[in-house]
Structure 1
Amino acid sequence: MARASYGPEAKKRSRHLLETLLAYANDAIDCDEAALDALRPQIQTRWQSETRLVVRTKVRFLQALTGLTSSQLTSEQIKEALKRFADFLEILEDNRPSRGGSETWHFTLNLWYKRQDTAANLQKFDWEWESRRPEKSKQVTAQTRGEVRQAQNSPLSSSLPSLDWQEICRANLNSRLTTNPLTCADGVTFDLEQVYVPLGLVQRKKRLSDRTDVTPQEGSRLYEPEDLDITQTFDHDEFIQQVLGNKQSQRIAIVGEPGAGKTTLLQKIALWLLDNTTDLPVWISLADLQGKTLEQYLIQDWLPSALHKLRVPPEIEDAFCEQFNQGRVWLLLDAVDEMVIESTNTLAKIASFLKGWVGDATVILTSRLNIWDGGKNALENFDTYCNLHFTYGEAQTQDRVGQFICRWFQHNPALGEKLRTELNQPERRRIKDTVKNPLRLALLCRIWGITQGELPNSKAMLYQQFVEAIYEWKQDLFPTTEKERQQLNKALGKLALLAIAREQTKFRLRHRFVCQVLGTPDDGLFQLALQLGWLNQVGMSEITGEKVYAFYHPTFQEYFAAQAITNWRFFLFGSGEDYLLSHESSYRIFEPQWREVILLWLGRDDVPQIEKQEFIQALTQFEDGCGGFYNYQAYFLAAQGIAEFTSCQQADEIVWQLIKWRFGYFHPQKQKWCRYPSPIVEGARIALLKTDRTQAIACLEKFITSCQNEFDSWNAAYSLGKTFDPGNQIAIASLENLVKIARHETIRWQAAYSLARVDAENQTAITALIEIINTTNNESICRKAAYSLGKIDSKNLLAISTLKKIAASATDSSQRRQAVENLATLRGEEITNKSQRKRTQTKKLSLSVLPEKITALIRGISSSDDEDTKRRRAYKLAQFDPGNTIAFTTLLQLVKSTQNISLRKRTVDNLKEILIDEQLPKVIVYLKDYFTDTLQEHELESHRDDYKLMWYCAENMTYQEFYQAWHSQSGTVIP
């Protein structure tokens, strides 16, 4: 028998086969369409999961397939490659009942990364192959590498400058990292380590509504509890070691609300990289780009500044780029929301920057949630993490709030203890919930240290107290009268409002612009704003050379802007402020940059209740005149607003409506439980989390006690007991009841596990899980129950023995694999096939070949009668030729004409991926007839895919643009 080969040629052939199979199964193979169509019936593939590909075919058909894209492999070479997949790389499961006497090959490939991450899978293939090669094989190959070594030792290589790049990065970071801006102005300074309390993080799943591979079973998860959207929870050290230390991802986003600690975490990451690795953290505040690309900024601004040079020689620029090529650089991009660009295009712009040598860097960026989740996300391949809020030591959590207060008041422990006692008073629940946010807790501590007075009841009042405290705090150095304070506050409000409304650089204010509002720096208001720290110089404009200023923190700019608004109609119709252009018309309720301003306006105690009530009513009764897509957005904003306007008369009604949208309702005529399309469900889920917490708890308790649907009873009870009110007794009682009466094993298992997570060591939950394991005939339910029991008690003998049994003898191979992974997780072992990077690469064609391919695809679309073939070709055509009319029209017509539900869903997903801005209005015109005024509420779900596509358009267009497209044929003008 011939000896197995593991050398370069065997590796090359095996890699070619793997790459071809992935391209074929992902609908991304670039070859003659007619030849490919002839092979499709002979090569059957099915994605069993994101990382498991099942293939059934014969060797001769694989041989033909490899020849379509490159040099054809022989039948023996293909068999050899398949054997290497099985015995060498251990990624192939042979599914044939007998390995002899049949031409048919039936096997499963277990990939390292997700299906569309071909580049990462091939890179991992290379690494695995080389790491597993016998030493003798490596020695033989090494003899052929003399030329490579000579090239590395050539004069050109040695001519590059020898620079200590890490020290350069460290010095540049030291000039940027903040300690504590809330205290440093009066000399009460904290080192970052002294006051820093580490937050846990959660990894967010990609939204199901954005994915292209959702199975019917996964689709039901759109209706599951909030924290089931979490892939994994990490404490701070776990995140650093597992995610960063193991380089699990090359693209990471840290997202959250204002003041959630995103920048502070990014600072900690920078310091960790410097202290524990040889890599290079390069910090960029994205507001500093000022219209430049990352490549331009790095070479023209960052590098000269870091080296303290006016001009940098080309050879040093080349050496800098080489650090990127070697994978040493971590780009730390702070504050996506402060970029000088329209918010709807921000993420797409960053995606366009991460190419070429810049794209070789590991990238970690921070962003506010309203930007990250505000529509089409061009960075959806990033692994996304959120900072958890501070906790109070309830329901098995640590008292992070207490730790922070103790560190802040380390020199006056009695004062800190007094604040903790005050926060624990029952009437302080609202502010207690508000200051789980790190920035707001720091503000509270600063106010308490200065005034030791009453605690505020809303975010706006918290900021108001801080403003008042600042004036008192600085009174000795910069004395001000009450009249001067009022004048300055009014001027700062006008400045903040105009910047957000008009300025391209909303949070970076040009010197001339500030002067137009506050006067020159020699005048009283401008000088006083600088002295008190409300404004700070943050740099110089690279274009004009003028000074650039920013508010104390972006949230204070939003606070002052909210103070300047005298009429709620400013948010809804764009009128009411005399210093704004009279003809300016904008529905600001739908613009993300105004969200915090609106909430802060609703929290003001000097705005009459009737004014706030009118605004909330206008939001809940908003009629968009174009299908109702914006009605929901306005309602969700009203729901969030009542968290600040706590005396709202409609609060109960608003929260009940959210619960109906979130969980569904019973239709008396149809006698069945009805649900809404996934975008409405997701919007209601988020709105419930952001609305008035006390009201949400009360309504959830009422819903749970009256709901007759087992699935939604479990769903709501778990949300209540885990997220809204940890340990809630009504939630626990409901889950205990479901464990006993649930008719479906799946619900019973979910209820039991949820009960254990809400009420640790609950014996009803543990008994139910044990009973399910011992009685069920369903392997999947048995495994899940055993894994749940093991997560409650990692040393539980029944859980461990059950998982071992399934791993060894389950009839379903996927259950065997998952049982092995479950065991590894319980033992604290790393899952080697876990997705680590999600970089998707589309194969590029040379310009000479592209027209020919486009022509062939167009011809193939017109000649095919098969709907799925038309879809595939149109999708590929749009990828090769963005905006192609034939591709767009073909996909759009399929959405309306096909009777195949699965095909309609795939077509909608394809459209969402390839649509360009100019095509969005055409989608609206084509599909709007589905959503006339006669469409009943319970009929929405029957149009769920069309609805998702229309909602996608609404997310990526302004209300005015959407309205105009809807009425483009009728000529109706927006009100």
Structure 2
Amino acid sequence: MSSNQLEPIKCKTIEDASQIISGDVERVEDYLERFRKWVNKREEPFDLRKLDLETIHIPLKVTEERTRDEFKEREKERNVRRLKDLQRSSDSEIDRRYKDLRDENMFRKRGAESIIEAKEALERHKRIGILGGPGAGKTTTEKYLGFRAANAGMEKLNSGNFSLKDITIPIFARLPRLEELIRKRKIPDSSGQREIEDFVIDLTIDASPVRMDKYLRDLIKKDIPRSSLLFLLDALDEVSRKSLGHNTHFTTLLRESLPEDALVVAASRIVGYTSSPVKINKELELVAFNQQNIDKFIKVWYRHNTEKGDKLLGQLKQRPAIHGMCQNPLLLTMLCMVNDGSDDSSLPARRVELYQKCIKELFKWGNVRLGIRVNDEDAERDYALDLLKNIAFEFFDDYVSSGTGFNIIQVQNKIREIYKDNSDYYIGIEEKLRKRYGILVKYGGEDAETFVFLHRTFWEYFVAQYISNWMDNDKEKALEFIKKRFWDPEWHESICFFAGTLEDPMPLIDTLCKENDLLSRHLFLALRCAGEVDAKALDEKGKDVINELVDKVWWICYEGENDFISDLAGEALVAYSLKIVERRLIAALRSREYEGAWRRVAKSLWKIGSPEAVQALMDVLRSREYEGAWHCVADALGEIDNPEAVPALISALRSREYEDVWKDVADALGKIGSPEAVQALISALRSREYEGAWHCVARALGKIGSPETVPALIDVLRSREY
């Protein structure tokens, strides 16, 4: 939009007209357009370059903390273990139990869980924390929210009827880069609260890869409401530990001076997360892809080559063991990249193999982009891989402890130290790793002088490769090095990758199992390592050790008393082997022996979300024998969001036998959102027989959003009976 356009422009106020004439609107429009281009830039080898962020997005799981009264009611309704003891408990006893759970950070894990869209979560809570495992989609979700805000702003500006105060301005920044700037710059003397807020806004903009000129900065600080700013703060888990203390300068400055009215999204890995340095109203956990998400992702990726997409989907159905990797957005992206560039029909079954093939594709991508032809036996690539292992290992501890990357001078000095007479050759390779292959990327904006690996998991993979080479030369020294890092969550991914590189992984797994931890975390890490191992590398003794390990963790998960530790055990089991655990879970769901653990079993099955898990849950819902599991089974079917479950849920809604679970069934139908359920829900809404479940039925109809529900809901509003 230009200030000298002749056609009439609608403005809400004289101030809005003045902003158009002064060029303010044009500057905002230019920034939003540059933000959109940054999100969708195609130069990066690994930036989901084939995907439209409006088409693919990651659902979020909300874990809500219940009040004491809600806690008591939930315990009663779900008929969990120790119900009779709870009913006999006094109010003071319930208060004590609630406080114990809250203080031990266990209650958050026990809260009610539901799927919520990222955009809805931000609209509802204003300041959210996004938690997820490696590659779960944290950064992509933040980019999606920023892209969506920029799109909405552009539409308002192009409509000709707007106010700049109605435009949301997204600002993306990596928190480690912001931390670095906060360390280097001093707060201006004699600054009031407003000036300190302006200082923090300036630093955040400086940490952003999307540049903003001084005029627009001043406009944001003086004329645009703070509530119109959307701060997207990434990589909280990569901030140095020293800076994340309660009273550090970094934490205090962000908590007290990041504008309170602004929208905020802060993202972090779950492992090692304690609290956010930024005020957060709600913490959200990214949900793994279910089968529908996987199918949709692949169809969008191959929308211009449907034949190849269908072929990949067929291969995945024939290889159920790969399903676990496909639930992770990063790994599924890598799988599609590998499938794109390979004529070989075989798919990597283990994470280590996937990273090996993906790195090969990145080298190929860099050469093809420049029109350079090399054969698969390219010697330079081998030298480059050796260099990447050394860079990864040499700088990883500094990265973990201080949140900083490495600069070119540091790398070149390290190359001279390691490679001596061949250092000039390796310095040339290092430059190609930055400029041609995209494996080393700038840490911050285009003007940044610091570099990191293109994704943290690649850094962790190369660290593992370095230690694996070390293991070949000095097994005892390598194991001793790893043993010292068992207790550091920052090293767990590298340790798991390390296990996947070993021809004989049992010394590592045995060493882990011999550790002593009251929370059994050493067993969970050992089982995750076992999940990375090639089964062909195990002899009978090794298989027996791992089977015994699986039994121990299974007992902790489904027969132990501590819900928090049980959740950790469940995650380790699923990470070990999806199909093996799935078979045991299905058997447990159909066994009276596990009646007290049915809630946990059903929750694990919905996290797996496979067609076999859905079928097992539906079978249990249809059987009177498992009445005690109906509540948790209905919840699980709703969370899996598979339309195939709709007929079974409708049948339950129409049967008096299921009266006690009508609320759960209605909620599940609302989450799935199938129009097929509308008539059954409307019938329930119009029947006094369902009075106790009316609010859940109405909510489900609202979520489905079918036009035919409107008359029924209006009738409810007009009737005194409701």
Query: Is TM more than 0.5 here?
Result: yes
Which structure is higher in helix share?
2
Relative distance call for 1:679 and 1:478 in structure 2 (3 A) is same
How far apart, CA to CA, are the structure 1 residues paired with 2:324 and 2:442?
33
- Structure 1 position 752, deviation (Å): 6.4
Relative distance call for 1:678 and 1:233 in structure 2 (3 A) is closer
- Structure 1 position 204, deviation (Å): 1.9
Residue 367 in structure 1 maps to residue 367 in structure 2: no
For the 8 Å contact 1:202–1:233, the answer to whether it is kept is yes
For the 8 Å contact 2:41–2:49, the answer to whether it is kept is yes
How far apart, CA to CA, are the structure 2 residues paired with 1:655 and 1:334?
35
| Counterpart position of 2:715 | none
Residue 488 in structure 1 maps to residue 488 in structure 2: no
Q: How does 1:434-833 map to 2 (within 5 A)?
A: 434-453=325-344, 454-472=346-364, 474=367, 477=372, 483-503=379-399, 504=401, 506=403, 508-519=405-416, 523-536=427-440, 538=442, 547-566=449-468, 575-576=477-478, 587-604=484-501, 607-609=502-504, 612-624=505-517, 628-629=518-519, 632-647=520-535, 649=543, 650-664=545-559, 675-713=560-598, 715-716=600-601, 719-720=604-605, 723=608, 725-728=610-613, 731-737=617-623, 739-740=624-625, 742=627, 747=629, 749-750=631-632, 760-761=645-646, 766=651, 770-772=655-657, 793-796=677-680, 799-801=684-686, 806=691, 819-820=694-695, 822-828=697-703
Relative distance call for 1:334 and 1:696 in structure 2 (3 A) is same
| Counterpart position of 2:125 | 249
**Per-residue CA distance 1:718-745 (angstroms, 9 max, x = gap):** 64377354344555544544x3464xxx
For the 8 Å contact 2:585–2:605, the answer to whether it is kept is yes
Relative distance call for 1:255 and 1:441 in structure 2 (3 A) is same
How far apart, CA to CA, are the structure 1 residues paired with 2:255 and 2:397?
30
Relative distance call for 1:283 and 1:655 in structure 2 (3 A) is same
For the 8 Å contact 1:790–1:800, the answer to whether it is kept is no
| Counterpart position of 2:237 | 337
SS of match in other structure, 1:576: helix
Q: How does 1:856-935 map to 2 (within 5 A)?
A: none
How far apart, CA to CA, are the structure 1 residues paired with 2:547 and 2:207?
58
How far apart, CA to CA, are the structure 2 residues paired with 1:469 and 1:370?
29
**Structure 1 residue aligned with 2:61, among 203, 206, 210?**
203
**Structure 1 residue aligned with 2:114, among 226, 232, 237?**
232
How far apart, CA to CA, are the structure 2 residues paired with 1:749 and 1:529?
54
- Structure 1 position 433, deviation (Å): 3.1
| Counterpart position of 1:422 | 315
**Per-residue CA distance 1:36-82 (angstroms, 9 max, x = gap):** xxxxxxxxxxxxxxxxxxxxxxxxxxxxxxxxxxxxxxxxxxxxxxx
For the 8 Å contact 1:330–1:362, the answer to whether it is kept is yes
SS of match in other structure, 2:593: coil
- Structure 1 position 376, deviation (Å): 5.0
**Per-residue CA distance 1:131-173 (angstroms, 9 max, x = gap):** xxxxxxxxxxxxxxxxxxxxx999xx99xx8733633542552
Q: How does 1:161-310 map to 2 (within 5 A)?
A: 163-164=24-25, 166-167=28-29, 169-170=31-32, 173=35, 176-180=38-42, 183=45, 190=49, 193=52, 197-206=55-64, 215-218=71-74, 231-234=113-116, 239-240=118-119, 242-244=120-122, 247-277=123-153, 278-293=167-182, 296=199, 298-300=201-203, 302=205
How far apart, CA to CA, are the structure 1 residues paired with 2:50 and 2:531?
34
For the 8 Å contact 1:656–1:699, the answer to whether it is kept is no
SS of match in other structure, 2:302: helix
For the 8 Å contact 2:578–2:608, the answer to whether it is kept is no
How far apart, CA to CA, are the structure 2 residues paired with 1:773 and 1:448?
46
**Per-residue CA distance 1:85-104 (angstroms, 9 max, x = gap):** xxxxxxxxxxxxxxxxxxxx
Relative distance call for 1:344 and 1:585 in structure 2 (3 A) is farther
How far apart, CA to CA, are the structure 1 residues paired with 2:607 and 2:445?
49
Relative distance call for 1:322 and 1:736 in structure 2 (3 A) is same
How far apart, CA to CA, are the structure 1 residues paired with 2:689 and 2:490?
53
Percent identity over the alignment?
19
For the 8 Å contact 2:635–2:664, the answer to whether it is kept is no
- Structure 1 position 201, deviation (Å): 0.8
SS of match in other structure, 2:181: coil
Aligned residue identity for 1:555: T
Relative distance call for 1:342 and 1:217 in structure 2 (3 A) is farther
- Structure 1 position 602, deviation (Å): 2.0
**Per-residue CA distance 1:612-664 (angstroms, 9 max, x = gap):** 1121222223124xxx23xx111111222222125262333233223322221
**Per-residue CA distance 1:229-255 (angstroms, 9 max, x = gap):** 664324xxx653x445xx312112233
SS of match in other structure, 2:264: strand
**Per-residue CA distance 1:359-383 (angstroms, 9 max, x = gap):** 22100122223244xx456668433
- Structure 1 position 175, deviation (Å): 6.6
| Counterpart position of 2:538 | none
Q: Could you list the runs of 5+ residues in structure 2 that have no partner in the other structure?
A: 1-12, 82-107, 154-166, 183-196, 417-422, 536-541, 706-722
| Counterpart position of 1:102 | none
How far apart, CA to CA, are the structure 2 residues paired with 1:764 and 1:590?
45
How far apart, CA to CA, are the structure 2 residues paired with 1:435 and 1:782?
33
How far apart, CA to CA, are the structure 2 residues paired with 1:552 and 1:346?
30
- Please say which structure displays the higher CA radius of gyration: 1
- Structure 1 position 500, deviation (Å): 1.5
For the 8 Å contact 1:574–1:585, the answer to whether it is kept is no
Relative distance call for 1:511 and 1:527 in structure 2 (3 A) is closer
**Per-residue CA distance 1:164-213 (angstroms, 9 max, x = gap):** 3633542552574353456499xxx95753x87413413321467xx877
Aligned residue identity for 2:313: R
| Counterpart position of 2:302 | 406
- Structure 1 position 693, deviation (Å): 0.6
- Structure 1 position 527, deviation (Å): 2.7
How far apart, CA to CA, are the structure 2 residues paired with 1:791 and 1:535?
40
Aligned residue identity for 1:620: C
- Structure 1 position 819, deviation (Å): 4.5
Q: When the two structures are aligned, how many residues end up with a matched partner?
A: 602
Aligned residue identity for 1:485: R
For the 8 Å contact 1:205–1:230, the answer to whether it is kept is yes
How far apart, CA to CA, are the structure 1 residues paired with 2:131 and 2:704?
28
Q: Tell me: higher relative CO, structure 1 or 2? Use CA pairs within 8 A at least 6 residues apart.
A: 2
TM-score normalised to the size of structure 2?
0.70
**Structure 2 residue aligned with 1:354, among 251, 255, 275?**
255
